[in-house]
Amino acid sequence: MLMHLSNPLETPQQLQRFFAQGAGRMLHVVRKPSDMIISGYIYHRRHRSKGEAWLHFRDPPDCLSCDHEAWSQIFQRCGFTCSYHQLLRNVSTREGLQLEALRSRWDVMKMLRNAWDWKELTNILQRPGGSWRSSRHG
């Protein structure tokens, strides 16, 4: 069975119960935070209207899984009347990367915390995000 946990269970004990019920094993991909921020910035700045609808919400604006303090800091720049996509398209690369770092900090913290909490769990394989490179040659 393949599952994607976008908001994973919080404690190793919860995961152990999950596995004890026959859930199998889990792969936890751990990326470098700087890679996540750069990738997120590029993707969210270039993104068009299909999918990722939250990128275009303006009333109220949305930054997906960001915390409230980050939301306030991000959208105060436009008086809380622009979308995240619009904001990224109208700031410098440096400012855009700073905004993406704010937007994604909760995801980065969760990923790093889970990596630490789950390091001893045998049912979880943790792999670095860059360990799978596509190859056109097989």
Whether 23 is in a domain gets the answer: no
Whether 138 is in a domain gets the answer: no
Whether 126 is in a domain gets the answer: no
Whether 137 is in a domain gets the answer: no
For the chain, the domain total comes to: 1
Whether 62 is in a domain gets the answer: yes
pLDDT at 51: 74
Whether 22 is in a domain gets the answer: no
Domain that holds residue 87: 31-116
pLDDT at 57: 94
Q: Given 3-state DSSP classes, what are the helix, strand and coil percentages for the chain, each rounded to the nearest 5?
A: 55, 10, 35
Per residue in 31-90, pLDDT tens? 999 999 999 999 999 977 677 899 999 999 999 989 999 999 999 999 999 999 999 999
Q: How many CA atoms lie within 13 A of 61 on its CB side?
A: 23
What element of type H or E holds 41?
helix 33-46
Whether 13 is in a domain gets the answer: no
Q: Name the band, by pLDDT with cuts 50, 70 and 90, for residue 136.
A: very low
Q: Is 79 left (phi over 0), alpha (psi -120 to 50) or beta?
A: left
Per residue in 14-47, pLDDT tens? 777 777 776 677 788 899 999 999 999 999 999 7
pLDDT at 11: 66
Q: Where are the beta strands (DSSP E) in 88-133?
A: 124-128
